[in-house]
Amino acid sequence: MANKGVAKWRGYALNLLLLVLVVAGIRFWQQRDMVTGAAPQLQGVTLAGQPYTLPIHPEKPVLVHFWATWCPVCRAEQNSIAAIAQDDPTVITVAMQSGTPEQVAAHMREQGIDFPVLNDPDGSIARAWGVHAVPVSFIIAPDGSVKFVEVGYTTEIGLRIRRWLAGV
């Protein structure tokens, strides 16, 4: 009887290990081309008409968030990004392949969200950062390096903790 219990738990452990390996493999594949080390140049004009340039050495950690109007996971995460941006003006987002500036602005009005957005209609900014899928969040440390990359849905508290850790 004890052997059946051990075999059962061994099976659970093997299944858990397999799940972890699959998730890690998917994450590795999604992040295969994403930038590491020094953050790439990021500049443009936001939808609000404000010029933006990512500082080479920001005073505090910066959240660079890639999203798209057509992405359901991005919609689930957008209120978290808006809350962080409301608390901290260093947040910048990039609307990847989401249409014209007018279309992106209309989407934001419809969704009731407001955060700084650089439009990337052709995906050139995303390519420079190695982004293939959205949402993706990069945390840039004060030394100008990419400290964290998160692909997929990330909680507000998770992003806030990563930003704090990048500044320690």
- Could you identify the residue written with the tokens 């407001």? 114
Handedness of CA 48, 97, 111, 114 (dihedral sign): negative
Domains and CATH numbers, the chain: 31-167 (3.40.30.10)
Across the range 71-100, mean pLDDT stands at 95
- Residues 141, 144, 149, 152: is their CA dihedral positive or negative? positive
**Contact indicator for 89, 118 with CB cutoff of 8 Å:** no
- Let me know: does 135 contact 77? Beta carbons within 8 Å: yes
pTM of the model: 0.82
Is residue 102 classed as helix, strand or coil in its secondary structure?
A: helix
The two structure tokens encoding residue 15:
């299944």
Contact 70, 98 (CB under 8 A): yes
The 10s digit of each residue's pLDDT in 27-79 is 665 666 677 789 999 999 999 999 999 999 999 999 999 999 999 999 999 99
Q: H helices of the chain, where?
A: 2-30, 72-87, 101-111, 124-129, 156-167
Q: What is the pLDDT of residue 41?
A: 93
pLDDT at 164 > cutoff 70: yes
- Sorted by sequence, the CB contacts under 8 Å of residue 160 that are 6+ apart come out as 84
